[in-house]
Amino acid sequence: MKRTYLILSMLMLSLSSAAQEPELLTDLNAAGDGLSEFYYSTAYLGDQLLFPLDNGETGIELGTLINGELSVLKDINPGIAESRPVELTNFQGKVYFSAEDIDNGGGLWVTDGTEAGTELIFTSTSTSTSRPAGLQVARNGLLYFAIGSNLYRTNGTTAGTEMIAENAGLAIDWQHQSPNYCLYENGIAYVVRYEGKASLFAADESAVLLAQTEGIGNFADLYGMAEVDGGLVFAIADSFTDDVSAVYRFDEDQETLEKAAFNGEVQLMRRFIPLGGQYQIGYINGDGFYSFMANGPSEKILEGTPEFNVQGVPIVHTYVSDKVLFRVRDTFPGGEEIGISDGTPAGTRLLFTTEESYLTNMITYGEKAYVVTGTSNGFQQEFHVVDGQSEEVTHLYTSEAGSSLTRSVILIGIQDNRLYFAGNFDEQIGREMYSMDISAVTSNEAPEATPYEVLISENHLLLKGQTATNFALTFFDLQGREISQVLGVSNEPIELPFTNFGLYRLVVDGQVLRGKF
């Protein structure tokens, strides 16, 4: 099939393959799928990549990839019964996650990357049928989560886990694929139905009611929660009480809650992408993408015509270099449009378009994002990598034949200059782990000369310079999501974030220094 690409602005798109043919790592589950179509939460831990897998004897359990070797790390729910680990979250140099077993029900688990070091941290005896949800590492260095309608926080130990609020269920609304919670100040914020109203809470040591709407119906959807400049935003979709259906903005300075207007009128958004604690990006069907904060006007950043009305379908996106890379629309029967944005109209554009429809997910590792299109209905899979700094798109690989199986590629992660993904190309093999060599696009370039030197110890970052100079420092996790921002002075150490693994961007004297910690 002939391929054409739409190149916008001054984008350079390399058409030559920059990766080798994908290789099957192993047929881990000879009787079925070694990797799940629905459970593929991943986390990096040192030189390991952690994610759910099924070897055919254990059910879906926590798995590990290290040095190209794939195995179940621990059979948490013994036998063929499954623990189905989800929400893998880096915290305190380990990975915490939600799982279940026959003895304890749903619980909060932790692993240090070894079988012996994988253990249950906490379970609620009163809500053993519920699993921990909404795992969020807050700026105060604590991990927040909910079990049922109870909100907890922990320092990573059983003794250091405490319930801090009731009626505080954290969830991702299935229809809109968007959460009712987010990080906020030193803790988290969430919106729930309370006293018959949509009630906005902030929680650190305890929950504090910030604001309430007018009455809502029992089946109203609460979603789109995000911290933005000046406060918080969220949305209500209530088919029985239409006058409350809207996007809401909470101004933390004025302590007011108001409906947001777009193009001069109140309109409901069904899909959102939060961006760096500064902007919320939302989509209005048949109109386009808008960026807005808690106060000030909203701005259209990109025209768009897709209809994101299908229940359970999110806007596929990933974060890279202070930006978000996102699916703009599927131009079925052929094509995917991919955009990039920093939250401003000037920093938003359509990046590239292909003729291959269907996109399962995107992932980020370091300063690069990886995208695969053509993942269903017989289309040919096209692998691309996007450099977050230059916004250059490189074509990695195109399959010779498409797969008629659904979600034929689910990207998992990067390890040792190889891209790993769950491939579903052959019904006789099932969904198993594949990899391809991407060293051509991951080779390190020589850093620019600078009068400053960044020194990293086990717990601190130090900018070494000849004189005391102020700088701005932003930390990200390896998936490109912002962790925190701090201001510092050269020659004075800055404590590293509690995730222990990630990226930094340091701005000093107009120079931008980047690296890993």
Convert the pLDDT of each residue in 347-368 to its tens digit. Answer: 999 999 987 888 889 999 988 9
Percent of the chain with pLDDT over 70: 90
pLDDT (average), residues 68-91: 94
Backbone angles phi, psi at 61, to 5 degrees: -130, 175
Is pLDDT at 480 greater than 70 in this prediction? no
Residue 290 pairs with which residues in a beta bridge? 282, 300
Backbone angles phi, psi at 126, to 5 degrees: -85, -20
Q: What 3 state SS string does 290-357 have? A: EEECCCCCCEEEEECCCCCCCCCCCCCEEEECCEEEEEEEECCCCCEEEEEECCCCCCEEEEEEECCC
Q: What is the layout of strands, in order, in the sheet containing 161-165?
A: 132-137, 143-147, 150-154, 161-165
State residue 122's pLDDT score: 95
- DSSP code, position 125: G
User: What's the CA gap between 210 and 230, in Å, rounded?
Assistant: 14
State residue 311's pLDDT score: 52
User: What's the CA gap between 173 and 158, in Å, rounded?
Assistant: 29
State residue 23's pLDDT score: 93
State residue 345's pLDDT score: 94
- Closest Cα to residue 270, out of 304, 299, 298, 312? 312
User: What's the CA gap between 264 and 302, in Å, rounded?
Assistant: 17
Give the range among 95-99, 186-190, 510-514 with minimum mean pLDDT.
Answer: 510-514
Confidence of residue 4 (pLDDT cuts 50, 70, 90): very low
State residue 461's pLDDT score: 84
State residue 264's pLDDT score: 85
- Whole-model pTM: value is 0.86
State residue 472's pLDDT score: 82
What is the average pLDDT value for the chain, to the nearest integer? 86
State residue 6's pLDDT score: 33
Is pLDDT at 275 greater than 60 in this prediction? yes
State residue 17's pLDDT score: 58
State residue 309's pLDDT score: 44
Is pLDDT at 5 greater than 70 in this prediction? no
pLDDT (average), residues 468-476: 83
Is pLDDT at 373 greater than 80 in this prediction? yes
Is pLDDT at 503 greater than 80 in this prediction? no
State residue 282's pLDDT score: 92
State residue 445's pLDDT score: 46
Is pLDDT at 238 greater than 50 in this prediction? yes
pLDDT (average), residues 202-220: 95
Percent of the chain with pLDDT over 90: 56
pLDDT (average), residues 56-67: 95
Q: Are strands 317-320 and 48-53 parallel, antiparallel or unpaired?
A: unpaired
Element (H, E) at 507: strand 503-508
Confidence of residue 500 (pLDDT cuts 50, 70, 90): low
Could you tell me the end-to-end alpha-carbon distance of the chain, in angstroms, rounded to an integer?
44
State pLDDT tens for residues 119-128.
Answer: 999 998 765 5
Give the range among 30-44, 301-315, 417-431, 463-477 with minimum mean pLDDT.
Answer: 301-315
User: Which one is predicted more confidently, 270 or 450?
Assistant: 270
Q: Are strands 150-154 and 161-165 parallel, antiparallel or unpaired?
A: antiparallel
User: Which one is predicted more confidently, 507 or 226?
Assistant: 226
The length of the chain, given as a count of residues: 517
State pLDDT tens for residues 408-419.
Answer: 999 999 999 999
Is pLDDT at 509 greater than 90 in this prediction? no
Backbone angles phi, psi at 442, to 5 degrees: -115, 0
Backbone angles phi, psi at 242, to 5 degrees: -60, -30
Is pLDDT at 50 greater than 90 in this prediction? yes
